[in-house]
Amino acid sequence: MSILVLAIFIPFLAAAIIPFLYKYLKNIHVGWFAILVPTGLFIYLASLIPAISNGEVIVQTMNWIPSYGINITAYLDGLSLTLALLISGVGALVILYSIYYLSSKEPIGTFYTYLMLFMGAMLGVVMSDNMLVLYVFWELTSISSFLLIAFWYQRKRSREGAKKSLIITVSGGISMLVGFIMVGSMSNTWSIREVIANVATISDHALYTPAMLLVLLGAFTKSAQFPFHIWLPDAMEAPTPVSAYLHSATMVKAGIYLVARFTPVFGGEAVWFWAVTGVGIFTLFWGSFNAVRQTDLKALLAYSTISQLGMIMSMFGMGSAALYLGYSTESVVYTGATFAALFHLVNHSTFKGALFMVVGVVDHSVGTRDIRRLGGLITLMPVTFTIATIGSMSMAGLPPFNGFLSKEMFFVSTLEITEAGFFGLGAWGIAIPVIAWAASVFTFVYATVFVVKTFLGPYKEEKLEHPAHEPNPGMLISPIILGMLVIAFFFIPNVVGENLIAPAMNGIFPTFAAEGAELGMHIHAWHGFKPELFMTIGVVLFGVLLFVTKKYWSGLYNLFPEKWSINTFYGFVLDQMEDKSTVITNKYMTRYLRDYMVYIFAFFILAIGGIFIFTEAYYFTLPENAPVSNFEWLVILSMMIAGITILFAKSRLTAIVLNSILGFGISILFVLFRAPDLALTQTIIEAVTTVLFLVAYYFLPELDKEDTTKKTKSVNLFISIGVGVVFTVVALGVQGNKAFGTISTFFENSYELAGGKNMVNAILGDFRAFDTMMEVVVLLIAGIGVYTMIRVKTKKESDQIEDK
C-alpha cells in the first residue's frame, strides 16, 4: 500500500482507535491524540510541496474492484495539495481549539471519532482520481457532517439542522453520481484524468450537457449555492469548532473543488459558464444581503460563508471562459479569475476560520451570540477583538489583509469578462461587475456589524449569562495563528501563488499548460489607480453610509415575507411528502400478517408466473425425467397427507408436528437423491425450527375455529393453488430448459483448487465464499433484529430526553 493512499486511511484508522483511547485513558483529553493525525498529515503533505511546485504529479493506486475499473487512486496535483493542506492544517488548529472549547463532560470520544471520519472522507474527496471512489468519500463527508451537526442531539434544532443538511447534500450527491455515471459511460473510464485527456471525444455526446448539469447540482448543494443554501444557516447548530472546520473552511469547499476539477471537462461551454458564474454571483449577492439582517453572530457568518462561496464559484465560472477561446495570449487573461478563485479559497479559510473561532470564544465567555445583547467587549476581551477586526477587515476586502488582494483580483476579473464578446456577454456582461460591487458593499456592512455590535458600544452585563473575560489562552492560539496568516498572506502572497496555486492552475487548464502558457500570476498589492481600486474605495464609502443609515432601509427585508422564503417551501414539500406517503402506506399496511402474505404470494404468482408465460419457458418433457421409484412415492404420499392434515389440525401442537413431517420428508428425499450435506443440514434445521415454533406458539392463544368470509377463503384457495402450480412449473422448467452450459466441471476440481474433497463445502467456503459471508451477516442482523424487537422496549422517559 502506498503512502499517499495510506494518508487517506490514517484518519479512518484513528477514528477506529479513538473510542478505545477515550474509554481507557480518562485523564488525558482525547483531543491531544486526535491532533497528532492532522499535524502529521500536514507535515507530510507540506514535504511534498517542492515536488508539486516543480510541476510533478503524484499518482498511487490501490486496487479495489479492478474488474469494474474502480480503484482507489490517490492523485495529488497542485489543486488537491492546496485543499489537502487546508484540510489537515485547519483541522489541526480546529482540534487544538476544540480541546479548550468542549469540556470533558461532553461525549468528546464520539466528537473526535466523527471529526476523524470527516477528515479522512474529505482527504479522499480531494485526492481521488476515480469518480466512483470520489462519490463514496463525498457522501461520507455528508454523513459525518450530519453526525457532527447533531452532536447535541438532545436539541430539536440540532436534529432538524442535521436532517436538512443531509437531505439537501445527499440528494445533490446522488444527482452527481448520475452525472458521473453518464460521464463514465461516455468516456468508458472512471478516471478523471483519462476523461480530461479524452474530453474532445465526449463533448458532442447527447449526454454531455445533462451530465454537466447533474454534476453541477452536486457541487451547488454541497457548496450551499442559491437556492440550496438554506441548509448552511441551520447547520450552525453544530459546535463552533465544527462550524469553523466543516461549514466554512473545508466541506463546503468540496463543491468548489468539484467545479475546479471538472472545469477542463465541461469548461468553455456557455451553459457551464452561465450556470457557474450566474449562480455564484447571485449567491454572492443574496448571501451578503441577508447576512446584514442576522442578529445571531453565527448566522451572520453562515450567510457570509454562503456569499463568499458564491464569489469563489463565480470566479471559477469566469475563468472557464478561457477554455472557450482555446489557447492564445488574449484568452490567458481570463484564467486570472481562476487564479483569484484559488487564492481566495485559501484566504477565506484563514479569515473565516478565525472569525468562527472568535464567535466561539465570545459565546463561551459571555454565553450568548446575539448582537442585540452584546456590545462593549473591546476593553474586556482585547485579544479577541484584535483577531475579530483582522478577520472582518480581510473579509470586507481592506488592506493590509489577504482578503484585499483576492477581492481586487475578483474586481479585475469581473471587469475583464464584460469585454468578452461571446456567450451573450456583450449584452449581459455588465451585470456581473455591478452585482459583484453591490454585494461587496453589503459584505463591508456585515463585516462592520460583526465588529461594531460585538465589541464597541455600551457594555450590557445585565443581558449576558456571564461577565465578559478573556478565555483560556489555549483557546486563542488557533485564531491567533489564523489571524497572523491573514496578515502574512498579504505581505508574501506569492509564496502561496507560486508554490500551490500555479501548479493547481496547470491541472485546471491542462491544454494551456501543454502549450507552455505561464498560468501563474504575480500578485501585487498595488495595481495603480485602476478601476478596481476605485471600486474598493466606493465599497468603503457606500458601506459606511449604509451602515450608518441601516435603520432607515432595513424595512427592505420585509419585502420578502417569511411565508415566501425557500425555507418555508422546503418545509412545505417535506410535510406534504410525509403526509401523502403516510396516507398511501396506511392504505396497504393493514397490520395483518395475513394480508402481507397475500401481497407476497400474489406478487410471486404474477412476477414468476408472468415471466414464464411471457418467455414461454414452461416447456418441459416428463418422459425424459428419471422415473419415480416406489420408495419415493411413499415419502411423497406421506408428505401430502401431512400437508393436507395440517388444515384440519385442532391444536397448534399437532400443526407443528405435522409441519415437521414435511421437513423431515424433504430430508429423506435428499438422502434418496444422494445429497448427504443437504439432508444433514435439513434434518438439523428441522429439529431446531420445531423447537423455535414450540417456544413461539407458547405465547399464542388456542387455535380457534376460523371465522372468515367466503370471499377471503376463495382468495386464499386461489393463491395457494397458484403458488403450488408456479412452483411445480418452475421446478419442471428448470429440468427441461438448458439455456446455459453447465459449470459443474469447474467445481469438480475442488480438491486441486480449494484443497477440500467435499465439493459442496468447497463452494460454500471458497468458490462462493462471498455469498456465505453475506448470509452469515444477514443471519446476524436477523438475530439482532429479533432480540431488539422483543427485548429492547422503548422506555416512557425517552420522549422527555429528546425535544429539550
Partner 1 sequence: MKINNVILRTVAKLVFFIILTLAVYLFFAGHNSPGGGFSGGLVLASALVLLFIVFDIETIQKGLPIDFKLVAAFGAFLSVGTGFGALVFGENFLTQAFDYFNIPFFGEIELTTVTIFEGGVALVVVGVVVTILLSISEDE
Residue ranges that bind partner 1, judged by CB under 8 A? 676-677, 680-681, 684-685, 687-688, 691-692, 695-696, 698-699, 754-758, 760-761, 764-766, 769-770, 772-773, 776-777, 779-780, 782-784, 786-787, 790-791
**Cα separation of 121 and 507, whole Å?**
22
Question: What minimum distance in Å lies between the beta carbon of 36 and partner 1?
Answer: 24
Choose between 613 and 784: whose C-beta lies nearer to partner 1.
Answer: 784
The CB-side HSE value for 41 (13 A sphere, CA atoms) comes to 32
To partner 1, the closest distance from the beta carbon of 425 in angstroms equals 53
**Residue with Cβ nearer partner 1 (659 or 683):** 683
Between 717 and 769, CB nearer to partner 1: 769
Orientation of helix 131-149 relative to helix 208-222, angle to 10°: 30
- 261, three cell numbers: 476539477
Q: What is the rounded distance in angstroms from the CA atom of residue 83 to the CA atom of residue 507? A: 13
Q: How far is the CB of 770 from partner 1 (least distance, A)?
A: 6
CB of 63: closest distance to partner 1 in angstroms?
9
DSSP H/E element including 70:
strand 70-76
Phi, psi of 560 (to 5 degrees): -110, 85
Nearer to partner 1, 574 or 684 (CB): 684
Cβ atoms of 158 and 151 within 8 Å: the answer is yes
* Shortest CB 477 distance to partner 1, Å: 40
Q: What are phi and psi of 479, to 5 degrees?
A: -60, -35
Closest to partner 1 by CB, 20 or 32: 20
Sheet strands (E) in 684-774: none
Residue 633 CB, nearest approach to partner 1 (Å) = 26
Residues 676, 404: Cα–Cα separation, whole Å: 81
Q: How far apart are CA 132 and CA 138, in angstroms?
A: 10
Given a contact cutoff of 8 angstroms between Cβ atoms, the answer to whether 116 and 18 are in contact is yes
Q: How far is the CB of 513 from partner 1 (least distance, A)?
A: 36
Closest distance to partner 1 from the beta carbon of 685 (Å): 6
Closer CB to partner 1, 731 or 782, in the complex: 782
Distance of CA 251 to the CA centre of its chain: 9
**Residue among 25 and 687 whose Cβ is closer to partner 1:** 687
Q: Is-contact 347 402, C-beta < 8 A?
A: yes
CA dihedral 308, 309, 313, 316 (to 10 degrees): 70
Residue carrying the nine cell digits 469585454: 419
The three-class DSSP label of residue 215 is: helix
Whole-number minimum distance, CB 118 to partner 1, in Å? Answer: 23
Shortest distance in whole angstroms from residue 105 CB to partner 1: 30
C-beta closer to partner 1: residue 368 or 761: 761
Residue matched to cell numbers 468516456: 187
Least distance from partner 1 to the Cβ atom of residue 223, Å: 35
CB of 143 to partner 1, least distance (A): 21
DSSP code per residue over 754-793: HS-S-HHHHIIIIITHHHHHHHHHHHHHHHHHHHHHHH-P
Q: Which has the closest alpha carbon to 690: 659, 723, 667?
A: 659
565 versus 749: smaller Cβ distance to partner 1:
749
- Decide: 233 and 148 in contact? Cβ < 8 Å: no
Give Cβ neighbours of residue 361 (< 8 Å, ≥ 6 apart): 381, 384, 471, 475, 476, 479
Cβ proximity to partner 1: between 575 and 775 the closer is 775
By CB atoms closer than 10 A (0-12, 13-18, 19+), residue 141 is buried
Residue number with CB closer to partner 1 (680 or 731): 680
192 or 762: whose CB is closer to partner 1? 762
Measured from the CB atom, the residue of 671 and 719 that comes closer to partner 1 is: 671
How many Å is the maximal CA-CA distance in the chain?
107
Looking at beta carbons only, is 648 or 698 nearer to partner 1? 698
Say whether 60 sits in a helix, a strand or coil.
Answer: strand
Q: How far is it, in rounded angstroms, from Cα 687 to Cα 664? A: 9
Residue 70: what are its φ and ψ, rounded to 5°?
A: -105, 105
Residue among 683 and 716 whose Cβ is closer to partner 1: 683
Work out how close the CB of 655 gets to partner 1 at its nearest, in angstroms, rounded to a whole number: 18
Residue (603 or 751) nearer to partner 1, CB: 751
Closest separation in Å from C-beta 663 to partner 1: 13
Name the E strands within 230-340: none
CA dist 169 and 523 (Å) reads: 35
Q: How far apart are CA 329 and CA 352, in angstroms?
A: 36
Length of the chain measured in residues? 804
Half-sphere exposure for 727 (CA within 13 Å, toward CB)? 7
Q: Identify the DSSP state of 627.
A: P
Task: Output the smallest distance, CB 650 to partner 1, in A.
Answer: 22
Smallest distance from partner 1 to CB 277, Å: 45
DSSP 475-542: HHHHHHHHHHHHHHHHHSHHHHIIIIIHHHHHHH-HHHHHTT--------S---S-HHHHHHHHHHHH
